[in-house]
Amino acid sequence: MTTDQVESARRPLPRWRADLRLGTRIAVMRAGGLALALRGDPVARLMHRPWRLDPYPTYAALRASADGGLARSRTGIHAVVTHEACTAVLRDRRFGVRLADGRMPFDPTDDASTSSAPDPTAADTALLEPIDLSLLSLDPPDHTRLRRLAQPTFAPRRLAQYRDTAREVTDRLLDDAADRAARGTFDLTTDLAAPLPISVIAELLAIPDVDAPRFARWGRALGAALDGVRSVRHAHALSRATADLRALFGDLVERRRAEPGEDVISQLVHELDEGTLTLDELVSLAQLLLVAGFETTTNLIGNAVRALHATGTWDDLVADPGLAAGAVEETLRFDPPVQLTARFAHSDVEIAGRRLRRDSGVLVLLASAGRDPAAHADPDRFDPRREQSTPHLAFSGGAHYCLGAALARMEGEVALEMLAQRMPRLRPAGRIVPRVATVLRGPVHFPVRAG
C-alpha cells in the first residue's frame, strides 16, 4: 500500500458515506434476524416487533423447549430461560459483560470487528449494547472500582432524602395532572412516570434548572441504545445526546470544582482530581444514572398501573395504599421494565450439559425467569399480595446487581401510593402505545382519566 493509500484509509469518511455504510450493516443484520424469526427461531423472534409486543408466549415456548434451561439459536447467541439457569449465569464469574479480551461485543459501528460483510446469521443480536454505559458495560477490576465510587449515592441516608423529594415531586405532578384531567385525560407516562425519576435524578446530581422534556429525550435515546443502534437516525440522535450530556456534565464538573457540595457530582469530581476516576468514566457513570434511573422507574410505574387495571386489582390498591410495595414487587416479577441482559463466556464453560466456547454470548431472559412455574406458583397471575418466596431477577444478579434497585422501588411505591390516594377512580382512557424494544418494556403513552 502506498503512502497516499495509507493516508486515505486514515482519513474520516464523509458523513453521507459513513451513514450509508452503517445503514447497510444494520439493514443486513436486521434482515438476517427477521429471516430466522420467520423460520421460527425463538431467540431471533425476541428482536422483532410482531413478537416483542407480547414477548411472554415466546418466553414460554423457550422454557418448554430449552434443554436444562438453555435455548440454542442459529443467531449465534443462545439464551438461558429458567430462573435456575438465569441465576446461575448471573452469579458465575466465568461470564462477563464484555468479551474475554475486554472488547465491547456486537458493535455495528466498529469496522475493525469484521473484515467482510456482516454475517446475516448474526441477526439483530449484533445490535445489542454497542455503547458504553459505565457499570453496565464493564467487568472487574474497572467495574469493581467504579461501583465502589457510585455506591454512596444509594446509601440509606440519601434514599430517605430522595423519598421526601419523590413525594414532593409526585404531589406537584399530580396537581398538574388533575388540572389536565378536569379537561379530559392526561398521559400517565409523560405527565408522571417520566418526570418523577428525572426530578429525583436532578436532585441526586444537583443539576440546576432541569428541563424535564430535554432530559427525557436524552434518556430515551440512550435507553434505546440498550437495544443497539437501530438506524442511522438513531445513531445521530445518540451522538447528539451524548455530546449534550458531555457538555452538561463538563460544565457541572467546573462548577463543583469552584463550589463543591454534598451531591454526587461533587464526590465524583473529588475522585477525578485524586486520579481515581477519568472524565470519560465520570460522564459515562452520570449517563448510566440518567438512563437506569429514568427508564427503569418510568417503565415500572406504567407496567404496574397497566397490570393493576388489567387484572382488576387497582381497587385493592385504592382500598389499601400500603399495598403499593407489593404491587411494585409483583410488577418486577410479572412484567419487569428490563426484560433481559447479556453475558459472554470468558472461558470455555458448560451449561446444562452443553459446552459453550470462550466469547460465546448468552441472553439472560430476566422476564422469562419471572414467569418460570418451577420458581413461582401460578406465574401468569398478577397478585400484588403474593409472597415473593423466590426472589425475582428484575434487577439482575451477581456482581452486576442494580445499584439503584432501592431507589427504583421507592419511586414506584411513592407513585402508586399517591396515585391511589389522590385519584382512586383512575382508569385507562384510550390505546396504550407500547415501547417495542427487546431490552426495555413499558408504555410510551398511557392516556388515563382521573374519574
How confident is the prediction along the chain (451 residues), in pLDDT tens digits per residue? 455 444 444 556 677 777 777 777 777 776 667 777 777 788 888 877 788 899 999 999 999 988 889 988 877 789 999 999 999 999 999 999 999 998 887 554 444 443 333 333 343 433 333 455 567 788 889 889 888 888 888 888 888 889 999 999 999 999 999 999 998 999 999 999 999 999 998 888 888 777 777 877 887 777 777 777 777 787 788 888 888 888 888 888 888 888 888 888 888 888 888 888 888 888 888 777 777 778 899 999 999 999 999 999 999 999 999 999 999 999 999 999 999 999 999 999 998 888 999 999 999 999 999 999 999 999 999 999 999 889 999 999 999 999 899 999 999 999 999 999 999 999 999 999 998 888 999 999 999 999 7
How many C-beta neighbours within 10 Å does residue 302 have? 28
Express each pLDDT in 55-73 by its tens digit. Answer: 999 999 999 988 889 988 8
The residue to which cell 444537583 is assigned: 206
CA atoms within 13 A on the CB side of 385: 7
> Selecting from 1.10.287.3240, 3.90.110.10, 1.10.630.10, 3.40.50.620, what CATH number does the domain 3-449 have?
1.10.630.10
| Extents of the domains making up the chain | 3-449
User: Is this structure's pTM higher than 0.85?
Assistant: yes
How far apart CA 266 and CA 91 sit, in angstroms, is: 33
Q: Where are the beta strands (DSSP E) in 99-237?
A: 186-187
**93 exposed, middle or buried (CB, 10 Å; 0-12, 13-18, 19+)?**
exposed
CB burial string 18-49: b at 16+ within 10 A, e below: eeeebeebbebbbebbbebbeeebbbbbbbbe
- Is the backbone peptide bond immediately before 141 cis, with ω within 30 degrees of 0? yes
Q: Give Cβ neighbours of residue 271 (< 8 Å, ≥ 6 apart).
A: 149, 277, 282
Residue 351 amino acid letter: I
Nearest by Cα to 262 from 150, 158, 190 = 158
198/290 Cα distance (integer angstroms): 8
Give dist(CA 65, CA 77) in Å, integer. Answer: 16
The bridge status of strand 427-428 relative to strand 447-449 is antiparallel
Strand-pair partners of 349: 356
CA distances (Å), 189 to each of 17, 105, 244, 295, 299, in order?
A: 38, 32, 24, 11, 8
State the pLDDT at residue 5. 47
In the prediction, which pLDDT does 13 show? 61
Secondary structure of residue 109 in the 3-state scheme: coil
Residues forming beta bridges with residue 80, ordered by sequence position: 70, 364
CA distances from 46 to 53, 123, 140, 200, 285 (A): 10, 11, 29, 32, 28
